[in-house]
Amino acid sequence: MNEADQRATTPGESDERYQEGVVDLLAALAYGELSAFDRLAEDARTAPTLTGRAALSSMAAAEIGHFRMLQQALADRGVAVEEAMQPFAQPFDEFNASTAPHSWLESLVKAYVGDGLAADFYREVAEWLDADTRELVLAVLADTGHSAFAEREVQGACADDRSLRDKLTLWGRRLLGEAITQAQHVVVERDALAELIIKGSGDLTGVGAMFRRLQNNHTKRMGNLGLG
Amino acid sequence: MNEADQRATTPGESDERYQEGVVDLLAALAYGELSAFDRLAEDARTAPTLTGRAALSSMAAAEIGHFRMLQQALADRGVAVEEAMQPFAQPFDEFNASTAPHSWLESLVKAYVGDGLAADFYREVAEWLDADTRELVLAVLADTGHSAFAEREVQGACADDRSLRDKLTLWGRRLLGEAITQAQHVVVERDALAELIIKGSGDLTGVGAMFRRLQNNHTKRMGNLGLG
């Protein structure tokens, strides 16, 4: 089968390798939701007001709603979410450990930038999936209200503070770098997932183009926060 | 109005003092849900398995579902939940600070015993409320699945470990003592809530009888964990 034929292939349930890649994708998403829950719950604890605390707690709860959808989708495929998530725990945890925020605003930027990058990536991948899986992936990417909240808080805090703005801009760049590093670790370890991405992008040039789109969107996103 | 007449009074929307007590009650419940969310999210982080982590995160999310019902009920009464909760933050936080668990099992016992005591108390109070408020209170007390989970884990861990069982039994007694101390602080500070309780119980003798029922249920609950 030549490359053009590969690209034309519509994924089907019969394709075992494709199914393996999909399970990886859903499991990575699921661990991402658990991580997001954890991070938002932690941020809720340090929120400067009870209003902020209630808002962030509600967003955290919404992530768990997404997690349960993924858990169900994996169960429908005969896969236990806990086992499927195991390979993704380390890279996600390392990303979080290497980018532990030192302030409420760093937390907000991290959640905004991290969720945005992840959502862009999964949305690209969703295009190559069968209709049911695509619908599920897009549903769990639905913003839980965090974005508008973060934009308001960060813009407000930076409006009259140039040095804070510069500091948070550097923070955003560092987050992008660490995210790419950990994403590469994942792809190297998970063959079926890597194939899904390469096949979907067309070829390695296509993968490169996708990464540039992710970086461009990251820059726009920093702009939305009033940074960069 | 003599005491017998007071007891016979059915609370109505026109009774301002009653409404004030109800707002306090709903606000205390709401802060309790936020605290429970926080505690469960923290416990999820230290869960020994991904299964435990997912289970506790889901329970935490369910608490937020309850919180939002209370937030809505207060909004319907023209009250912002954030403001109404303020007076209850300190006693709840002091209870939590004075009973910080040192292990996964202490966390589970604390959640089980604390939620059980709170639920018993609110269920008693619910009996004296107008039908709509009673229904709301009973709905937000619905167990989020934590109890069965805690019973399994604690019974399993203590089955062959007498010294652990003794240690957790003492822990349960301390929790009861601290809970009563903080409950007293709340009641002393919140006149309308105190009136609601005294009027509902009939008189101070009735309040005493209610406290004995709470203590008896606590003892039974410790038995369910295989402790006491």
DSSP string computed for A96-127 = HHHT--SSHHHHHHHHHHHHHHHHHHHHHHHT
Report whether B26 contacts B84 (CB < 8 A).
yes
Q: At what angle do helices A50-76 and B81-98 cross, to 10 degrees?
A: 80
Q: Which of chain A's residues have a Cβ under 8 Å away from the Cβ of B74?
A: none
Is a pLDDT exceeding 90 seen at residue A49? no
Residue A3 has pLDDT above 90, yes or no: no
Cα separation of A98 and A21, whole Å? 27
* B192 in any annotated domain: yes
- pLDDT tier for residue A8 given thresholds of 50, 70 and 90: very low
- Please give the pLDDT value at position A175: 95
pLDDT band at A165 (very low <50, low <70, confident <90, very high): very high
Closest to A28 measured CA to CA, from A90, A75, A77:
A90
- Residue B218 in contact with residue B117, Cβ under 8 Å? yes
Per-residue pLDDT band at A214 (split at 50, 70, 90): very high
User: What amino acid occupies position A154?
Assistant: V
Spans of chain B, pLDDT less than 70: 1-14
* Cβ neighbours of A41 in B, within 8 Å: 37-38, 41-42, 44, 60
Chain A closest-CA separation from residue B125 CA (Å):
25
Chain B CB contacts of A50 below 8 Å: 82, 85-86, 89
The whole-angstrom distance between A213's CA and the closest CA on chain B is 33
Range of the domain at B33: 15-224
Give the pLDDT score at B56. Answer: 86
pLDDT band at residue A228 under the 50/70/90 scheme: confident
The answer to whether the Cα torsion of B62, B65, B71, B73 is positive or negative is: negative
Interchain proximity B37–A51, CB inside 8 Å? no
Give the per-residue pLDDT at A2: 46
- Sign of the CA dihedral with B63 first, then B67, B69, and B73 last: positive
Which residues in chain B are closer than 8 Å to A65, comparing Cβ atoms?
A: 61
Which tokens is A173 given?
Answer: 């760049």
For chain A, how long is the longest CA-to-CA vector?
60
Of B49, B53, B65, the CB nearest to A34: B53
Lowest-pLDDT range, A118-127, A137-146, A212-221? Answer: A137-146
- Rg of the Cα trace of chain A? 18
| pLDDT given at position A225 | 94
Query: Tokens 């668990």 belong to which residue?
Result: B101
Say yes or no to pLDDT of A178 above 80: yes
Model pLDDT, residue B45: 87
A29 pLDDT exceeds 90?
yes
User: B74 in a domain, yes or no?
Assistant: yes
What ipTM was assigned to the predicted interfaces of this complex? 0.78
Question: Is residue B5 domain-resident?
Answer: no
- The 3-state secondary structure of B137-170 reads HHHHCCCCCHHHHHHHHHHHHHCCCHHHHHHHHH
CA neighbours within 13 Å on the CB side: how many for B190?
26
| Contact indicator for B70, A64 with CB cutoff of 8 Å | no
- Flag whether B6 is in a domain: no
Q: Is residue A96 part of a domain?
A: yes
Domain assignment present for B171? yes
pLDDT tens figures, B36-59? 999 889 888 888 889 889 988 998
| Structure tokens that stand for A135 in this block | 């619908």
What does the block give as tokens for A11?
Answer: 């994924």
CA distances from A199 to A157, A192, B129 (A): 43, 10, 63
CA distance A227 to A158: 8
pLDDT at position B3 is: 45
User: Mutate which of B31, B58, B70 to test chain A, going by most A C-beta atoms within 10 A?
Assistant: B58
Q: What is the pLDDT of residue A11?
A: 61
Written as one letter, the residue type at A16 is: E
Give A36 to chain B, closest Cα distance, Å.
11
**Residues of A with CB below 8 A from B41's CB?**
37-38, 41-42, 44, 60
Into how many domains does chain A fold?
1
- Count of Cβ atoms closer than 10 Å to residue A151 Cβ: 16
Chain B residues in contact with A46 (beta carbon < 8 A): none
pLDDT band for position A111 (cuts 50, 70, 90): confident
- Is position A138 within any domain? yes
Give me the mean pLDDT over the A127-142 stretch. Answer: 92
Please write the tens of the pLDDT for every residue from A52-101: 899 889 989 999 999 999 999 999 999 999 999 999 999 999 999 999 99
Dist. CA A124–CA A119, nearest whole Å: 9
CA distance A51 to A103: 18
Instruction: Return the CATH number at A176.
Output: 1.20.1260.10
Q: What tokens were used for B174? A: 């301390």
Count Cβ atoms below 10 Å from residue B64 Cβ, excluding itself.
26
Instruction: Name which of B29, B38, B85, B86 to mutate to probe chain A: the one with the most chain A Cβ atoms within 10 A of its Cβ.
Output: B38
Round the average pLDDT of chain A to a whole number and report it.
Answer: 89
pLDDT for the residue numbered B55: 86
SS (H, E, C) chain A: CCHHHHHHCCCCCCCHHHHHHHHHHHHHHHHHHHHHHHHHHHHHHCCCCHHHHHHHHHHHHHHHHHHHHHHHHHHHCCCCHHHHHHHHHHHHHHHHHHCCCCCHHHHHHHHHHHHHHHHHHHHHHHCCCCHHHHHHHHHHCCCCCHHHHHHHHHHHHHCCCHHHHHHHHHHHHHHHHHHHHHHHHHHHHCHHHHHHHHHHHCCHHHHHHHHHHHHHHHHHHHHHCCCC
Domain membership flag for residue A1: no
What's residue B171's pLDDT? 96
